[in-house]
Structures are given as C-alpha cells and as structure tokens.
Amino acid sequence: MDGDSTQNGDGGTYLVFASSATGYSLHERRGDLPPVGEVVEEGEQRFRVSKHAPSPLPGDRRRCAYLQPA
C-alpha cells in the first residue's frame, strides 16, 4: 500500500465502524472508501465519515471508515 488512505487493502472491500446511541457496529462494504467528511447512509441512519484507519481486526489489511452520527 502506498499510503493513500482511500485505497482498499483487499481488492475492493473495506470496513465501516459505526457509532450510535445503541452501540457500535462493524460491516464490510464493496467499492472505494468514502472521503472523510462525507455523509453516508447505514440502514436508515445517516453518518459522517470521521476518519480512515487500518482495520480493527487482527491480520486484516483492509482500511476502515469510522462513522459518527450526522
């Protein structure tokens, strides 16, 4: 990986880690990471991408988009 935080480390999949009033969730998504600051929908809720980071799963090379309620 060349340091570009928008690249996916696993051939087109990435993770989203969403925070809500009822707890946290971790889901796999296909495609490119949404940019930091973008508003995305997860289920019926809207979230803002707060940061990109490595996957929280041990040994997983994918990138993760961390989401906060919008």
pLDDT, one tens digit per residue, over 5-37 is 455 644 599 999 998 888 999 999 999 999 999
Q: Is the pTM of this model over 0.75?
A: yes
Looking at residue 12, the DSSP 8-state letter turns out to be S
DSSP letter, residue 32: P
Are the C-beta atoms of residues 53 and 63 closer than 8 Å to each other? yes
Q: What are phi and psi of 60, to 5 degrees?
A: -90, 120
Helices (H) and strands (E) in the chain, counts: 0, 5
- Could you report the per-residue pLDDT of 30-54, keeping only the tens digit for each? 999 999 999 999 888 999 999 999 9
